[in-house]
Structure 1
């Protein structure tokens, strides 16, 4: 574990792999350190933002190095189920790229249990690991100028759901009516780092 200063109000902890990043995230969130404003896990790092008037960053770095990490993920033990209508614009294209039938693309995508690696790109956008390697396809060469909210997509080793309408180059497999981002909720983002996710095929209404 390597702790570096990240400006005047944060430290960046390099941990080496995603499971350790999730464990450190859980440990810092549960430690009750004074002055912590945000804890942001990445794939191999955790950024800890603090109020420098209430938190000595050098002391925080020393405490982080000695912090005992939990044995495993502390939340998301019960998967978040996301109902999906698999009528996306790119299902046939993904089938062609992978050599699978469209039905097999859907079966493989909906069979996995995914883990939220981290959030990024837009509020509530979770990068989900656990995608079947047979479905690892590149992004589109030309991104769409607008992808509808709720679009279920894949790109490279990741799966995701677009929480809001935005440009995007991921391959679209389907759509969900579930709100991934809602500012009216106590926690606007439905997904959190370390949470488990399952995609459940449903028929269109």
Structure 2
């Protein structure tokens, strides 16, 4: 039920709030209210009762649904989850550091500003198999002569990968890494600030249950 005075949909286990004053024109508000009631009455009753779904409307007339899923790390955005599901066997995903020319190299870039790559690895790797048909399904960028890798960072990434793959991480020359990134399904541009933090994952075959 919608409380027309304050713009809030209420039930014992469901609360959805938006700012009425920001919606223009008023016909948009009426459409939103109608959609909220439909969503509440027909689509989300079971999920709401189980306390597994949260729905939010941001300021403005465009609806955004934020669904909390069991077993999915909070760092995995809906856009990233969709891309992981769309990827097929042999497709690559680049987790790029903040210095990486993501928008130059990739037509499909997902922003993950503020997130570190080890955290994303921890969220992504349980969701698909790494490719068992290649020698190195995981690759990192090798440092340019005179530079060095952050040993603690490499150790953190290696630990995350080791939980899901026995193959050693391959270290690829910078421009060869760029060439691989151009062929990737998508590039996730993170907030990782450590140099040479970039990593490529190649998706394998999901085993049948």
TM-score, with length taken from structure 1: 0.23
Which has the larger share of strand? 1
Rg comparison, structure with higher value: 2
> Greater RCO between the two (CA within 8 Å, min separation 6)?
2
